[in-house]
Amino acid sequence: MLDLSIEELQKTIDALEEQVDHTDIADEDEWKVRYYTQVEVNEQLERQRDWLMERVEAARNQSQEGVSALLAELDLDSLTESQLLRYLKQLEKDRNSLYNELRDKEWKLDQESKTFHKYNDTRKAYMTEITEAMVNLEAMKSRLRTFEGSENGSIAKNILPDQRVIDPRKGPIKKTAAVRSLPKLNTADKDFNDDDDMLDKQSKKSAEF
């Protein structure tokens, strides 16, 4: 909008310059006054335009507090009504943009908060399971040590005196089993033959009687 106004003013200046070239000498002073007055107004408008553009750019990069501070520092008396309206519309646009950005940030923050609480609950559940597993593991280790101790004690009690280890490198004392000597087979056969002869003799005597 300001650029269009500058272009229109430049056209007006060009037209005035053309009119100055074609005016009579009587009207020359009046046109010169108008010309220089318009040039001064144009320079002021250009300065105001640059200043407003800087302010608008600063407002876009600042938060709501920055915009409030900018409004407090703004010299409203130096602006025309049309400039104030344009500046007001720009501020409303920036306000809506900041509001939408704020809503978007709030939504993202809410989602991240929900995600955090979800993972935090999961973490707590895992920590509880790990703690229970550690407690059970310690209990199992304690039972295993107790069982091994009782088993070693019972084994030590069941060892016979002659099975005790004198030298660990040589192992337990060896015991040689005594083997009973059996009768010779020839002696047994001879005894059996003598018994048969006696039976035969008794049989013969019985037959004679």
Per-residue pLDDT of 148-188, as tens digits, reads 777 666 555 555 544 444 555 555 555 554 445 555 555 44
Bridge partners of 172, per DSSP, are 165
The 10s digit of each residue's pLDDT in 51-67 is 777 776 666 666 555 55
Q: What angle do CA 112, 115, 119 make, to 5 degrees?
A: 140
Report d(CA 103, CA 109) in Å as an integer: 10
Rg (CA), the chain: 62
* H or E segment and range at residue 98: helix 81-158
Residues of the chain by 3-state class (helix, strand, coil), percent to 5:
85, 0, 15
Q: What is the pLDDT of residue 177?
A: 47
Least reliable range by pLDDT among 95-104, 108-117, 180-189: 180-189
Q: What is the pLDDT of residue 164?
A: 47
Tell me how far CA of residue 119 lies from CA of 45, 108, 109, 122, in angstroms: 59, 16, 15, 5
- Res. 138 pLDDT band, cuts 50 70 90: confident
Q: What is the pLDDT of residue 85?
A: 83
Angle between helices 2-22 and 28-61 (to 10 degrees): 170
Task: Tell me the pLDDT of the chain averaged across its residues.
Answer: 68
The burial class, CB within 10 Å (0-12 / 13-18 / 19+), for 165 is: exposed
Residues written for the chain: 209
